[in-house]
Amino acid sequence: MNKPKKVAILTAGGLAPCLNSAIGSLIERYTEIDPSIEIICYRSGYKGLLLGDFYTVTPEIREKAGLLHRFGGSAIGNSRVKLTNVKDCIKRGLVQEGQDPQKVAADQLVKDGVDILHTIGGDDTNTAAADLAAFLAKNDYGLTVIGLPKTVDNDIFPIKQSLGAWTAAEQGASYFWNVVAENNANPRMLIVHEVMGRSCGWLTAATAVEYRKLLDRAEWLPELGLDRATYEVHGVFIPEMAIDLAAEATRLRAVMDKVDCVNIFVSEGAGVESIVAEMQAKGQEVPRDAFGHVKLDAVNPGKWFGDQFAEMIGAEKTLVQKSGYFARASAANVEDIRLIKSCADLAVECAFRRESGVIGHDDDKGFVLRAIEFPRIKGGKPFDLNTGWFNQTLAEIGQAKGTKVEVGH
């Protein structure tokens, strides 16, 4: 064992219901093992690292670190910064012209006396961490980078379950429980529930399952119109599954004629290729982020689905509601906190061994919890359409399973 003298923590990318708990768990575990190990937390992710802007974890913070489990978001702040995107880093004033952001980050870690860097983020954060780890190793900096896998999409290769995804599904279901009551605010109402998931439908499918559990636990009074059929999920559309719009419109029109409303769950990444093609055909610019991803809030897939279906199913009114910001900013639930703590404990153990990697249950190695090698980490892991609970859901709502679609990331 090689006890670290000083560790740093940063969170990056979008929010997920695990960030504060992961920060708190790391601080708690280091404090349990050896409170003499110094801890700093870079403000706003890689931005803070590049600028040398950080919080110092004091004894008072250590004592109250457990408070972080009660809150969503990241107390230390996030940002979307790609260290290998030099132009973007210069444009944002994070480095000067002619500087290499990776070297600036590495030199800042040395300046700050950091032995171990813990990154908490999704595939973009951890691929950035992988690039930084490779740079540190190649240039003999002698620093160790250990990642924790955060993303509500649950789409990181080869990790079985990313931190925060269970909570996001539960919270998305809670969100829709209120929204669905709008089905009786207008005759022939179409409600589109847009759920996060750029290229992976896991969260949409899991949210539908969690929401239907709420329906299972409810009592109904159909004699007075309080009918489960009007609260039901009538369609689930995800990026990995082909959609026959005409056939689905025929099926959903029959639902509309019968119960006077239709409720569909849509992944924000479903149909994006069609939307982008339409925008490009009209000569419109497709907005993208620093990582080259299409900005989904700008292309608005939920509205696109609403527009496609509304006329075909005879909807008098269409309501599009997005649960993403509500769900991703929640505090972690009990199941996620259990997973977070186990991952944080192993991350600290790996820090003492100077073992780099991303902590997770490895799909390719019997789902063992381990430090997965950075070169094996990548985003875009698709949801398996053959998952039992998903097929059961489709069967119960009367939706035919579409053919598999290869999704880009």
Active site residues: 153
Distance CA 266, CA 270 (A): 7
CB 3 within 8 A of CB 19: no
Known binding positions: 14, 123, 151-153, 196-198, 268, 325-328
Backbone angles phi, psi at 302, to 5 degrees: -60, -45
Distance CA 69, CA 19 (A): 9
Distance CA 165, CA 290 (A): 24
Residue 102 Cα to chain centre, angstroms? 25
Known binding positions for Mg(2+): 123
- Strand-strand pairing, 38-42 and 116-121: unpaired
Distance CA 176, CA 173 (A): 5
The closest of 241, 244, 220 to 232, measured between CA atoms, is 220
Measured CA distances, 185 to 32, 161, 173, 334, 349 (Å): 54, 38, 20, 35, 55
- Kindly tell me the burial class for residue 225, based on how many C-beta atoms sit within 10 Å of its own C-beta (0-12, 13-18, 19 or more): exposed
Known binding positions for diphosphate: 14
* H/E element, 227: none
CB 115 within 8 A of CB 353: no
Known binding positions for substrate: 151-153, 196-198, 268, 325-328
